[in-house]
Structure formats: structure tokens, C-alpha cells
Amino acid sequence: METKTKHILSFLLIAFFCAASAACANHRNRQNEKSGEQVINSSQKNRSEAGKLAEALRKKGISDKRVLTAIGNISRHEFIDENLRDFAYLDRPLPIEKGQTISQPFTVAYQSELLQLKPGEKVLEIGTGSGYQAAVLCEMGADVYSIERHQELHETAKETLRKQGYHPQLFFGDGYEGLPEHAPFDKILITAAPEKVPEKLKQQLKIGGWMVLPLGGRHGQKMTIVKRESETRFTESVHGDFIFVPMVEGTEK
């Protein structure tokens, strides 16, 4: 009788633990499903916000569909501080580390449109910053080289871009020097304002290529295209007024 009772108690204990394990497993599954749903919903929301931003830029005059598609595909909030993420999809510049900014989306789109990129073109970006502009260029199919003078920004942008699935070639160095060892470039994009066109960068353009840069002093710049017509001949055209942080020589670790 005692043996029989022990068997019954053992059976009941096993049944209880199995039921408890199943309940825990079901709870974990529900938690995982809920977590997965939150990730999906968050991702969908971000895509929706990026899409709205692209549509707003279209209404402001950006007509290059590839630029708009790139803007609509990129999670801009990933390139800024968490405290500012509520402002990520507004058309405004935002502060980042080292006293720099992530440019206003319209400015990013406008500069990208002026490049008239073709897939596979080799592009040098001067001023990686947050990495957002590099992501746009990658989305457009460019072979991107980007140089940043602030080591902290260089390292942060590298990690952010990697996490977002972009793999441009990033360098820590002086933008005024460019990357002569990787020249010539089809296009060069400068995301800070020099007071005059950097001569070394002009020489790193291929013949037939061009550079887009905000040219001028602290009180405002003209968005300028510098085209290389031959070994020695360059032409310039102006495309509106902008305000950028100054382009500075040297590096900061």
C-alpha cells in the first residue's frame, strides 16, 4: 500500500512539474512573440516615418527618385542620440558629438541630387559625421569612401553603419588631404564649408567628374559644383545658399 501510494505521489509530482514547465514554456513563447511583434511594429513605424520624410522632401523640390528612395529606406534615428530620436524624421539638423551636426535631410538630399550618381560610381565624402550621408550614398549604389577628422565620430559612424548593414570604406584623417592613394574619384562630396575649393581634392577628381561643396565663410555659403573638364581646366556653378559648419584642417583624436 505504501509503495502504491509512493507511485501515485511520484506520478502526481511529475505531472505537476510537466504542467508547470509547459506553462513556463508557453509564457516564454508568448513573451518572445510579443517581443518579436514589438520589433516588427517598431521597424514598420520607422519605415513609415522615413517614407513620410521622403515625401516631405519631394514636396520641397527633391525630384531624384533614387535619392528619395534612399531617404525612405534609412532609419535616421539610428544616427543620432537617443534623447533626440523624437526629432529624427523632422526636416531639421540635429547636434551630434564634437560640436558637429547631422545635416538637415533636405540638405542631404539636395547635395545627393546634385551629385547625379550612377550605380557603381566611386565617391569620396569629406566629413563622415554621423554616417547618415554615407548611408544615403550606399543606398544609391555608390562605391563610398568617407573620411572624418574626429576620431570619436569616425569610430561611432563605423559602428552605426555596420549595424545598419552599410559597409563604406571609412578613414580617420584630414579631409583637406583627401585620399590620394584611392584617387581618382568620379564624385566628391564635402559636408563642411571650406572658404575656398581645396586644391588637393580638385586633383583627386577624374576628368569629367565633379565635386559638390558648400563654399564660403561662417556667415553663409553657396552650394557649388566644381567640374573637372580636363587636366587643368575646372568650371564652377552655384546652386543656392546654405549654412554649414566650417571645414577645418588637421585631425582630432
Residues with catalytic roles:
103
Which one-letter amino acid corresponds to residue 123? Answer: V
Contacts of residue 41, Cβ cutoff 8 Å, sequence gap at least 6: none
**Residue 168 corresponds to which cell in the numbers above?**
563604406
In 3D, which of 113, 4, 13, 15 has the Cα closest to residue 68? Answer: 113
List the helix and strand counts (H, then E) for the chain. 6, 9
Find the farthest-apart pair of alpha carbons in the chain and give their distance in angstroms, rounded: 107
* Among 176, 183, 130, 182, CA closest to 153: 130
Residue 123: strand pairing partners: 144, 187
Q: Which residues, 6 or more positions from 60, have their beta carbon under 8 angstroms from its beta carbon? A: 91, 106
How far apart, in whole angstroms, are the C-alpha atoms of residue 187 and residue 211? 6
Number of Cβ atoms within 10 Å of the Cβ of 18 = 10
Quick one: cell of 231?
587636366
Residue 138 CA, chain-centre distance (Å), reads 9
